[in-house]
Amino acid sequence: MAPNLRDQDGLTLLITAVRQNALDCAKSLLDVGADVDATAVPSPKLGGTALSSAVGAGNQAIIRLLWEAGARH
């Protein structure tokens, strides 16, 4: 599995999982090495990071998961 793949919009699998509030999927991606601080490309302003997505959604469980995994952005 390649946990840092991006979709056609430049979002990582982890960012997509977080945006869909898929806690178990986010855990699985982190377990196999997803980059917790990866930013969406080409524009971080449009997509940000998994943590910024979780904060925007107010998902406390995912915020905690990402912080515990070392997220800082």
Q: How far apart are CA 10 and CA 6, in angstroms?
A: 5
Residue in 34, 45, 27 with CA at minimum distance from that of residue 2: 34
Q: How far apart are CA 15 and CA 51, in angstroms?
A: 8
Q: What is the pLDDT of residues 2-15, one digit of tens each?
A: 999 998 888 999 99
Domain boundaries, the chain: 13-68
CATH number at 13-68: 1.25.40.20
Tokens standing for residue 43 = 């524009």
Q: What is the pLDDT of residues 7-58, one digit of tens each?
A: 888 899 999 999 999 999 999 999 999 999 999 887 655 668 999 999 999 9
Q: How many residues are there in the chain?
A: 73
On whether the pTM is more than 0.85, the answer is: yes
Give the model's pLDDT for residue 28. Answer: 97
CA distances 66 to 21, 31, 38, Å, are 13, 12, 12
